[in-house]
Amino acid sequence: MIQDFLSPIEESIVAHLVLQSPLSLGNKTSIHTLEEGFPDLENVKIAIFGVQEDRNSQDNFGCGEDLHLIRRKLYQLFPGNWHTNIADLGNVLKGNSVTDTYFAVSEIITYLLKKNIIPVIIGGGQDITYVNYRAYDSLEQTVNITAVDSRFDLGNLEDDLTSQSYLSKVIMQEPNNLFNYCNVGYQTYFNSQEEIQLLDNLFFDAYRLGEAKVLENIEPAFRNADIVSIDIGSVRQSEAPANNNASPNGFYGEEICAISRYAGISDKVSSFGIYEFNSKHDTNNQTAHLIAQMIWYFIEGVNFRVKDYPFTTKENYQKFTVLLEDDDPLTFYKSNKTGRWWIEIKILSDNKYKRHALIPCTYKDYIDATKQIIPERWYKAMRKLM
């Protein structure tokens, strides 16, 4: 059972909870404590757990420690008008080797996914994203990853797995279940032109920081993701100093919270992680507080999911067909519930790519198509299927 891999939360948080309002989030959450034991996961929708592993975090050792600081801030907050049950499973301690930790994290995520529980992972290096990805192997489906990061973390294939080389392992190692990778918020001077070109050659999506700050541009990237991985270093240092690789530029606090809500509100996102928090660089627990608010916004998003992905039924959608001069027509769908848009991809056979037959897009993509400009996201998806 997964409780064998998880230790209870710190007793200081249990003591702190007693002082909080009975209406606070901490008192509305089923928590793994020494006294109460492991929570019952029946009817739980979201399960938070920490990973105290920093050995493969590049230049950010200590990023698995002091997760109680995030919990302290999170459990002081008040929930919204929510209907989902939340559990805190505690922490995965460092194993005898990094591989032991990876095994424990993978087993926990796999178990939760099979029970349709969304794991929210805090702490540890971003190399945990690779472990998260591998946990989907047993589901036998293709996977989309959206990473909010100033760097692509490609590294070299021959490099050991680290927080700055995990993506090459995702792309190259078997079984290869990756359909799409999307980077949100990369900063060009942190990535070589060769890396930028490689992502383009693989027909992956990447949004520079300036483009990503126009949030409607990036909403489809989260609506299309299974895994969302956030490096807290993508937030500017003045807003989130608790990262040894922090940069003067990045997202503002309210922007990263809006991004977290986008991830939560997506019908498709089934796991969410925030990595690289290093408390020894924090100022007055500022970053811990921001991460707590990001988790709050993610949970808020999950509670406002409307299940408007037009996969099984299309009665509640408006269909738009755009005739192209030199190609087959493009078909768009607009949700009557939310006004969100999708574009149809013609998949010739009922294969593992069927779940990508409709990909999220924007109203601008539709307008561009009417001007005979083929949307880039449609083009890239088609190229991956060829």
Tell me: the pLDDT tens digits for 309-344?
766 566 788 999 999 987 889 999 999 888 999 999
Instruction: Yes or no: say if 102 and 133 are a contact pair by the CB < 8 Å rule.
Output: no
H or E element at residue 342? strand 341-344
Residue 350 has pLDDT above 90, yes or no: no
Tokens of 329: 């027509």
Could you give the strand order of the β-sheet that contains 227-231, starting from the edge strand earlier in sequence? Answer: 30-31, 85-92, 44-51, 118-122, 271-275, 227-231, 143-148, 178-186, 205-208
- Specify the pLDDT at position 53: 97
Q: Which string of b and e fits 269-297 if b means at least 16 CB within 10 Å? A: bbbbbbbbbbbebbeebbbbbbbbbbbbb
Cβ count near 261 (within 10 Å): 21
Mean pLDDT to the nearest integer, 205-214: 97
User: Peptide bond before 175: cis, by omega within 30 degrees of 0?
Assistant: yes
**pLDDT-above-90 percentage for the chain:** 87
pTM above 0.85, yes or no: yes
- Specify the pLDDT at position 157: 76
Give the pLDDT band of residue 385 (cuts 50, 70, 90): confident
| Distance in angstroms (rounded) separating the CA atoms of residues 109 and 251 | 28
Instruction: Yes or no: say if 301 and 266 are a contact pair by the CB < 8 Å rule.
Output: yes
Mean pLDDT of the chain: 94
| Distance in angstroms (rounded) separating the CA atoms of residues 180 and 216 | 20
Domains in the chain (CATH in brackets) are 2-303 (3.40.800.10), 317-385 (no CATH)
Least confident of 285-294, 339-348, 372-381: 339-348
Instruction: Yes or no: say if 51 and 64 are a contact pair by the CB < 8 Å rule.
Output: yes
**For 32-81, how does the pLDDT look when each residue is reduced to its tens digit (9 = 90+)?**
999 999 999 999 999 999 999 999 999 999 999 999 999 999 999 999 99
**Burial class, 42, CB count within 10 angstroms (exposed 0-12 / middle 13-18 / buried 19+):** exposed
Residue 278 has pLDDT above 60, yes or no: yes
Instruction: Yes or no: say if 292 and 74 are a contact pair by the CB < 8 Å rule.
Output: yes
Mean pLDDT to the nearest integer, 343-364: 80
